[in-house]
Amino acid sequence: MNAKQPVMPTEWHDPDDAPELTDEFFEQADEFVGEKLVRRGRPRAENRKVALTVRYDADIVAAFRATGQGWQSRMNAALRDWLKTHSPA
């Protein structure tokens, strides 16, 4: 037979089958004040970080990684300390 098959299923779902909305659901929901979405989670830092791609010599990265978790923060601190005594230009 050459009859076309429907692209989408034509099943009808009764809206009364929807789960009941509980207090837990509303605790997880996004909150709007007027048109503005109120963000959840950690507040934005005063001095935000900038994501970028940079290349360092492998031995430099290995030395910082060998210091364990937090090595990127220590690398940032080392660069900040260097800037105290040197001109960035």
The answer to whether residue 24 sits within a structural domain is: no
The answer to whether residue 5 sits within a structural domain is: no
Q: Which has the minimum average pLDDT: 8-12, 31-35, 49-53, 83-87?
A: 8-12
Tell me how many domains the chain contains.
1
d(CA 75, CA 54): 13
The answer to whether residue 19 sits within a structural domain is: no
d(CA 41, CA 38): 10
- List 37's β-bridge partners, or say none: 32
The answer to whether residue 44 sits within a structural domain is: no
Question: Can you give the residue range of the structural domain that contains 83?
Answer: 62-89
How do residues 13-39 score in pLDDT, each as one tens digit? Answer: 777 777 888 998 888 888 888 888 887
pTM value is: 0.51
